[in-house]
Chains A and B, each alone.
Chain A
Amino acid sequence: MSEPLLVADKITKLYGERVGCRDVSLDLWPGEVLAVVGESGSGKTTLLNCLSARLEPTSGTVRYATRDGVARDLFAMSEAERRFLMRTDWGFVHQNPAEGLRMTVSAGANVGERLMAIGRRHYGGIRQAATNWLERVEVGTDRIDDDPRSFSGGMRQRLQIARNLVTGPRLVFMDEPTGGLDVSVQARLLDLLRGLVADLGMAAIIVTHDLAVARLLSDRMMVMKDGAAIEGGLTDRVLDDPREPYTQLLVSSILQV
């Protein structure tokens, strides 16, 4: 626990003239949950894609401590090594479950596929693991042979989470995991995520524009505006005593119900 899991140094991503994100540095430690907040277009998804090696930054480095304890530069790895990392050590939960699931294969196969990718071959064992995970994310196990096209949005999202967590990743990236869901479904999903993060001790980087999600799930928080990280710190410190004008605006814009 004495070394960070991921260290990003001055990540900049330019789309031609336009700035995706600029000079963002952060570190993430094992078991820690970091929320990246900001409004649409603030660069949070661009940053998440750079951190998760889905997008190569224009400049800056991302180092990740692989299971052998060596901190390695993501973009100096081979494509095969990065893919291996994504399949084993990482999860990525998309806002739209259809992007993270295979919509035409069964729920059980969606979960089992990640296990097969890391070399598990015993069919009974894989099916058992898939059943356990469906239970854990509250998808009825009688739906194991149905494909996710027949699932509601909330169920699809929970299935996507099961698919990502079945391999016991050390780091999960989440892009607006509760976006586009009804509030009651959101609450259930948040509660589920909270429990899973605490029980599994995994680290997570959660991009969200919803400060309530950040408050419930994260230890630390980073606020982005116009591609730059403008404020960071303990989640409750940033939310209860915001320093920057823009953070004060964000916090004061929350509807109280």
Chain B
Amino acid sequence: MTPRLELRSVAKSFTMHRRGGLHLPVVADLSFSVAPGECVVLGGPSGIGKSSILKMVYGNYAVDRGEILVANDNTVIDVASAGPRAVLAARQTTIGYVSQFLRVVPRVAARDIVAEPLAAAGVERSLARDRAEVLLRRLNLPERLWQLPPATFSGGEQQRVNVARGFICGRPLMLLDEPTASLDAANRQVVIDLIGEAKAAGTSFLGIFHDEEVRDAVADRIVDVARFAVPSAS
């Protein structure tokens, strides 16, 4: 089976021009793949570059070398070399991303923040809102909060809005950056169930989970990022 995601010899570093051109290598020769319906978890200590890898796959960080191949419907794009429009198109059809923190849009109600990606994909707004409500209810976000902008929500409430927004479209490749970090046990279980159902439907996951219980419940395989980390020269 063609992998949904394949990284081939990817290298990433940062050059800090404001710090006298300080060169900070992150990973080198990073290669692994994720099959349809598989959940691969990135392992290793904090600061080793796990989030950076998710951001490279999403096209959010540029890559120094290597390929990041994402397959969908018999087409494959290399996120590492594709132009901005191709990456945007891949985000609209193929790649979903649940970040650690919700980037709050002023004045927009939680329900509409969740519904937005579905509406942007062409689903009628009222249907998108209905679907958003189903997810928010499932994630136990109190109904009185749906109409409010999440700026004042607690960390756990914001994270549930973020999870719902990420899952609403059912993209074939989902990138999860600690989606359960601020959730209680009941809501962690909801996220575990959502991931399990999506996997059964063929969705691939690449994720970061520090919570062992969640990791054990969802991971098919763990890729140890420390193997690809570049020791800092300084």
> Taking beta carbons and an 8 Å cutoff, which residues of A are in contact with B?
29, 32, 187-188, 190-191, 194, 198, 216, 219-220, 233-234, 236-237, 240-241, 243-245, 248-249, 252
Within the assembled complex, what's the spacing in Å between the Cα atoms of A252 and B87? 25
Q: Is B144 an interface residue (CB 8 A)?
A: no
B61 touches A237 (CB 8 A): yes
Given contacts A191-B106, A240-B55, contact A29 B60 (CB under 8 A): no
A190 touches B62 (CB 8 A): no
Residues of B within 8 Å of A236, CB to CB, are: 60
Q: Is A194 within 8 A of B62, CB to CB?
A: no
Chain A residues in 8 Å Cβ range of B14: 241
Contacts of A241 in B (CB 8 A): 14, 55, 60-62
Do residues A252 and B61 form an inter-chain contact, with CB atoms below 8 A?
Answer: no
Q: How far is the CB of B101 from chain A (nearest CB, A)?
A: 13
A249 to B87, CA, bound (A): 26
Contact B108 A191 (CB under 8 A): yes
Interface residues of B (CB under 8 A from A): 14-18, 55, 59-62, 84-85, 87-88, 105-108, 119-120
Q: Which A residue's beta carbon lies closest to that of B120?
A: A198
Question: Closest CB-CB distance, A231 to chain B, in whole Å?
Answer: 11
CA distance A4 to B92 in the complex (A): 19
Across the interface, B85 reaches (CB within 8 A) one of A29, A190, A244, A245, namely A29
Contacts of A216 in B (CB 8 A): 105
Question: Could you tell me the distance in whole angstroms from the C-beta of A224 to the nearest C-beta in chain B?
Answer: 17
B121 to chain A minimum Cβ distance, whole angstroms, is 11
| Contact between chains at B108 and A237 (CB < 8 Å) | no
- CB pair A219 B88 closer than 8 Å: yes
- Chain B residues near A244 (CB-CB < 8 A): 17
Contacts A187-B106, A234-B87, A241-B55 known; list 9 others, CB within 8 Å: A191-B105, A220-B84, A234-B88, A237-B59, A240-B60, A240-B61, A243-B62, A245-B18, A248-B18
Closest to A192 in B: B107
The distance from the CB of B118 to the nearest CB of chain A, in whole angstroms, is 12
CB distance from B78 to the nearest CB of A (A): 15
Q: Do the beta carbons of B18 and A249 come within 8 Å of each other? A: yes
Least CB distance from A210 to B in Å reads 13
Query: In the complex the two chains form, is B120's CB within 8 Å of A234's CB?
Result: no
Residues on A with beta carbons closer than 8 Å to the beta carbon of B108: 191
Q: Which of A241, A243, A245 has the most CB of B within 10 A?
A: A241
Judge whether B62 and A237 touch: CB under 8 Å: yes
Which of these, A187, A233, A240, A245, contacts B84 with CB under 8 Å? A233
Residues of A within 8 A of B18 (CB): 245, 248-249, 252
Which residues of B lie under 8 Å from residue A219 when comparing CB positions? 84, 88
Which A residue sits closest to B107, measured CB to CB?
Answer: A191
A237 nearest CB across to chain B (Å): 6
